Structure 1
Amino acid sequence: MVSVKFYLDKADKFNYCPIHLVIRQKDIKIKVSTGEKVLKENWDGNNQEVSTSDYNSVAINKFLIFLKQEVEKCIETTPHSNLTDKHIKDLITRLIESRKENNDVKIVCEDSVKYNKMKKITFIDLFAGAGGFSEGFLQAETKDKYFDFRLANDINDNCELTHLARYNYQLGMDAEFLRQDITEPDFIDNLMAKIKDQTIDVVCGGPPCQSFSLAGKRKKFDKKDDLFAHYLNVIKILRPKYFVMENVKGILTKEKGKIKEMILNEIRSILDLKEFPQLIHFVANLKKQHPEYSFILDCYINRLNFEKAVDKELDTLKEAYINSIENKFKNLAPKIANYKTSKTDINFGTIRHGFNLLKRSKELEYIRKKVIQEKNINDLDNDYFASNFDDFLVSIESDSIIEKIHNSFKNLEPGLDYKNEIDDIILALEIFNYSFDECIQDLSKIIRDEKLKVELESILSHIRLYNIDQPFVAMASDYGVPQNRERVLFIGCRKDQKMIHTVPATVKPEDRVTVFEALYDLNFVGNDDEKFNYEEVNINEQYGDKSNFVKSLIKKRGINGTFTKDGLTYAEWSKRGRLSERFKSAKNPFYVRNFDELDNPLAHIVAPLQNHKTSKQNDDVLKRLSIILNAGNYEDAKKELLKNGISTDKRSYSVLKIDGQSPTVLTMPDDYIHFNSPRALTVREMARLQSFDDSFVFQGKRSTGGNKRKFEVPQYTLVGNAVPPLMARAVALEILNNIK
């Protein structure tokens, strides 16, 4: 029988009594100081806790419970022959010292002389999630440049909690976090207030793939709609030297490749406003050569002017644009119909009201956003409500409004004498909705003089602010990540910067990091278990005849995965961390449940190993996982599962292969089965497969379920949605090597 209790030692000169932990088991008696002190009157000996009269009672009691649980767990799981005074004292001391270091030392990220001589390249991370891009960028350095993290943005509180814990508390940085929906009207104002007057050199981020759609063609309206447009709006305002946009591979073929082209066109439509007057002057001169296009060319000039305006100024320009078309229609109306018809005919009504709707596009955008929010809050999908909501959302799109105006003109059947005027009105409405590139394409059709065509091309070569090559598919395993995760990268390069066409692989296909290298040293957890310290893994005992083979998989590597004799294994890099000496004063890894605990350092659970907890599985689940593991894959195991009466409706399980890479890490831990144990992966193991350092702790709730998945971003989701830091590091290094 083991007894683990606390007692107070003699008071110091301030009357504070040190709290000691004492362990008794048969002939063993161990006493260790916990590092905490309390006034004698604030100690409740019966309940073994600090009373609430002490200001720090909650935090201290939480730590004492944690210590007691770890000691009891250690005694329970350690063979009696290994259970020495030293073994237990070392365990307790590690936990206490880690906590003491974090609480006693004020951590400040001070640049050494080396870093004072280097150039800071500022960056912000939009749609940041856990911070995969941020982590990779902070790992990247060259001889004369490094990245200075200024701000991250996301909408979820656990993203912010994890960010603040990692970058502000643990690494001592002053990076800001903006928790706000990028589509909200005051987002830009709040972003600029946090950035202040700093120049931002690089913007990175990955708008969710649902946000890419062609206007008027949407089948499903999602809360993530139009995030891409707002992402680009940030680019237009900050005008960074480079920006990186990450997305799923499917974006290349979505809507038969039209989405990819739309993205490239929108990026190429970001203009250098200093050069913009040249284009307006050029179009104005065209009117002299083509007076027959005078009205349409005025429309192009007015539409192009949208590019240099934002917010209220843009709203004013759009309203003026529609007013000019409406005035042309008012002059035309008496010619094609009598007064009574113009006032009562449904087609005339549609045209007039359509103009009104187009002038109120900002108000309609607000309505659209609120309807999409309600659609998602109420989970309207695959039901009789969804199509009605979607039809309404389509009806208030400018494309749909313009289409109805067009059809109404057709229904009026005006005479041929007025065909040109009506065609001009219809084209003017279409120009209103054109992208910059569409304007240029149509203008080019008007120009017949070859010299003017050359002049226009010259103007465009100066006016486009960003150059961009075709997007490319990046395979995470090519950059030292033990995972076959494909992502598409768009890299926009400001015209004064060198073009980046791709990010070269750092690892040959045959040399990629294996799952075994990434996870073998963490396989010391059981069912419904949690570990806070690393333990030795006996490979011979776990793998028997396969021991020599699995040992051969462990390679010495550089940070980026390349083989090198004086390197570290992937597991060693994960434990040591891949951040540079700039962060040598970082605090030890710690975990908190919420912001209240984050603000109270005494409430931090400080331990060498975090996020390494397994779920509690019943006997049927354990047996099911064992059968699938032994079969090697889910499909081959189905007959045996059915025979044992433990088949399941779950669509898939992926058994990890020790000598290969994992499939794409997603947000559901039970999609994967460990390669040597019948269990799902822990958060830490999934983080290893994503190439996060072990010191990067995922905060808040571990998992969630049901409808809560729509709103909550627990640890597993943070990991699964992240950009692998080592892939981000490769991107960051490519930028550092090219940026001027």
Structure 2
Amino acid sequence: MPKEYKKPLIFIDAFAGCGGLSLGLMQAGWSGCFAIERDKFAFATLKANLLAKRSPYKYVWPDWLPQEPIGIVELLTNYRAKLEELSGSIDVLVGGPPCQGFSSAGRRQHDDPRNQLFGSYLNLVDIIKPKAVLMENVRGFTLDFNAGDEIKNFSQALKAQLSDAYTVREQLLDLSIFGVPQARTRYFVLAFRSELNVPDAFAHLRSRLPSFLRSIQLTTPVSSASAISDLEISRGGTQPSIETKGFEETRYAGPLTRYQRLMNAGCKAPGDLRLARHTESIVRRFKEIIELSHAEGRLNISIGAEMRARFGLKKMALRVLDPDRPSPTITSMPDDLLHYSEPRTLTVRENARLQSFPDWYSFQGKYTTGGHRRKQEVPRFTQVANAVPPLVARAIGETLTDLLGDKSLSADVSDSRINLRLHRIQEGPEIST
């Protein structure tokens, strides 16, 4: 477990999305100053879970910043003077700029406007001057891009721009080692003010991983079935959707495994259990695909060309979950992944379980979107898919507490300078065994 300190580490979350990174850091005992998120749906999720009165974890939030969606460019333009007042008072700036232009799940585009936001992130680093920078992105962030007559690499540019003031370390991490029931590899950067002489945080993270897993009573890997078997229709049946007229949802009957108890602690019945409305012909097709995938040993990987031809499918990414292994990386497309035994796609809650969101964490906004709106809106399935799994953020947060807790820049900064009163984060709900 992390060491105890009089004051928690203070962070700002840039490109916060639906709050997975913030939640995990708060679970590790950190105090969130505020978050930057421009999408109205993702911010609604953030607000419902990390700003509501009865939330077990909350941002403290400064009075000068409205609790509403805001982009990083707007923040830098409209609140620069207030941000400059925070210079030196924030321990860690965290976040991951939008990754769609880097992602191997789509068509990588070096000139995608969303890619350019990482420059604004570096500008914020320069203004805030945090003790450390924690950044997460997709593996494609490390790849070279053809940009006209030159080759660009965003990870190299990031290191070059931080290296004058920070010691920069980077690592590709398979997130399943943290107890996340998903084989998800992501790129992480941990950069520390050079004068602090902080040892290799990734080495420390690996060394304390066994004790972290013991503290949450998990052994790895956690399989898909261990994560979502309590959400099967065959167990609890269905009922009319509480939230959306005309839809059915799974009726929850309680957790079965250690991982499920960990996720369900403090929550009687999770939300976001709305089921897709598949036609009878689609259900029959899904049933055959699931049976054939089990028979042919093609689980967690895209169905083969012969099966696509047999069912007249053009979709290349369709996969059937393997119940005995962590899931493949979940995506923002809800029809990319089929349940391991039931002829249907997964619910938002099942995807959230595979991302290690606790059951009390609810998601807001549309369930899906399409067409040109995919670059403009972040519906629930996308919020979950794009998030940093809270278990990973918690493990990293506890590691950084070990390394930085006795070097906190905020320890010598008065509350008046930060313009908010930091109070100790409440303890999370007790985990039943």
Does 2:126 align with 1:236?
Answer: yes
Which of 673, 684, 690 is the aligned partner of 2:355? 690
Which residue identity lines up with residue 124 of structure 1 in the other structure? I
Does 2:2 align with 1:118?
Answer: no
Structure 1 residues 390-430: Cα deviation after superposition (integer angstroms, max 9, x where no partner) = xxxxxxxxxxxxxxxxxxxxxxxxxxxxxxxxxxxxxxxxx
Residue matched to 2:402: 737
Change in CA separation of 1:167 and 1:636 when aligned onto 2, cut-off 3 Å: closer
- Whole-Å Cα distance in 2 between the matches of residues 690 and 721 of structure 1? 10
Residue matched to 2:199: 499
CA drift at 1:262: 2.0
Residue matched to 2:180: 481
Which of 19, 23, 27 is the aligned partner of 1:139? 27
RMSD of aligned alpha carbons? 3.1
- Structure 1, unmatched stretches of 5+, are 1-113, 141-145, 213-217, 270-464, 538-550, 555-568, 578-587, 589-606
Does 2:72 align with 1:182?
Answer: yes
C-alpha contact (below 8 Å) 1:180/1:187 kept by paired residues: no
Residue matched to 2:414: none
Residue matched to 1:159: 42
C-alpha contact (below 8 Å) 1:515/1:658 kept by paired residues: yes
- Whole-Å Cα distance in 1 between the matches of residues 161 and 78 of structure 2? 23
C-alpha contact (below 8 Å) 1:491/1:500 kept by paired residues: no
Residue matched to 2:162: 267
Does 2:333 align with 1:624?
Answer: no
C-alpha contact (below 8 Å) 2:14/2:93 kept by paired residues: yes
Which residue identity lines up with residue 249 of structure 2 in the other structure? E
Change in CA separation of 1:118 and 1:616 when aligned onto 2, cut-off 3 Å: same
Residue matched to 1:490: 189
User: TM-score by structure 2 length?
Assistant: 0.75
CA drift at 1:499: 3.4
Change in CA separation of 1:620 and 1:203 when aligned onto 2, cut-off 3 Å: same
CA drift at 1:641: 6.9
Equivalent residue runs for 1:231-310 within 5 Å:
231-255=121-145, 258-269=153-164
Change in CA separation of 1:687 and 1:266 when aligned onto 2, cut-off 3 Å: same
Which residue identity lines up with residue 260 of structure 1 in the other structure? S
- Whole-Å Cα distance in 1 between the matches of residues 117 and 302 of structure 2? 39
Residue matched to 2:96: 206
Residue matched to 1:38: none
Equivalent residue runs for 1:654-665 within 5 Å:
654-665=319-330
Change in CA separation of 1:691 and 1:191 when aligned onto 2, cut-off 3 Å: farther
CA drift at 1:175: 3.6
Which of 128, 143, 146 is the aligned partner of 2:16? 128
Helix, strand or coil at the partner of 2:26: helix
C-alpha contact (below 8 Å) 1:702/1:716 kept by paired residues: yes
Equivalent residue runs for 1:674-713 within 5 Å:
674-713=339-378
Change in CA separation of 1:675 and 1:468 when aligned onto 2, cut-off 3 Å: same
Residue matched to 2:391: 726
C-alpha contact (below 8 Å) 2:13/2:93 kept by paired residues: yes
Change in CA separation of 1:243 and 1:617 when aligned onto 2, cut-off 3 Å: same
- Whole-Å Cα distance in 2 between the matches of residues 219 and 635 of structure 1? 24
- Whole-Å Cα distance in 1 between the matches of residues 83 and 269 of structure 2? 33
Residue matched to 2:166: 466
Change in CA separation of 1:641 and 1:180 when aligned onto 2, cut-off 3 Å: closer
Helix, strand or coil at the partner of 2:137: strand
Equivalent residue runs for 1:546-625 within 5 Å:
554=257, 569-576=258-265, 608-625=269-286
Change in CA separation of 1:260 and 1:160 when aligned onto 2, cut-off 3 Å: closer
CA drift at 1:163: 1.1
Provide the identity percentage. 31
- Whole-Å Cα distance in 2 between the matches of residues 536 and 205 of structure 1? 34
Helix, strand or coil at the partner of 2:30: strand
Change in CA separation of 1:239 and 1:642 when aligned onto 2, cut-off 3 Å: closer
C-alpha contact (below 8 Å) 2:97/2:115 kept by paired residues: no
Larger radius of gyration: 1
Structure 1 residues 641-675: Cα deviation after superposition (integer angstroms, max 9, x where no partner) = 755xx422222211111110111111111111111
Structure in which a larger fraction of residues adopt helix: 1
Does 2:222 align with 1:513?
Answer: yes
- Whole-Å Cα distance in 2 between the matches of residues 486 and 666 of structure 1? 13
- Whole-Å Cα distance in 2 between the matches of residues 669 and 709 of structure 1? 13
Which of 326, 329, 337 is the aligned partner of 1:672? 337
- Whole-Å Cα distance in 1 between the matches of residues 290 and 84 of structure 2? 51
Does 2:36 align with 1:148?
Answer: no
Residue matched to 2:249: 530
Number of matched residues? 359
C-alpha contact (below 8 Å) 2:19/2:387 kept by paired residues: yes
Equivalent residue runs for 1:375-394 within 5 Å:
none
CA drift at 1:257: 7.8
- Whole-Å Cα distance in 2 between the matches of residues 635 and 495 of structure 1? 45
Change in CA separation of 1:623 and 1:254 when aligned onto 2, cut-off 3 Å: same
C-alpha contact (below 8 Å) 1:125/1:151 kept by paired residues: yes
C-alpha contact (below 8 Å) 1:178/1:191 kept by paired residues: no
- Whole-Å Cα distance in 1 between the matches of residues 33 and 194 of structure 2? 23
CA drift at 1:196: 6.4
- Structure 2, unmatched stretches of 5+, are 62-66, 103-107, 146-150, 240-246, 408-433
Helix, strand or coil at the partner of 1:472: strand
- Compare relative contact order (CA 8 Å, sep 6+) and give the higher one, 1 or 2: 2
Structure 1 residues 269-311: Cα deviation after superposition (integer angstroms, max 9, x where no partner) = 3xxxxxxxxxxxxxxxxxxxxxxxxxxxxxxxxxxxxxxxxxx
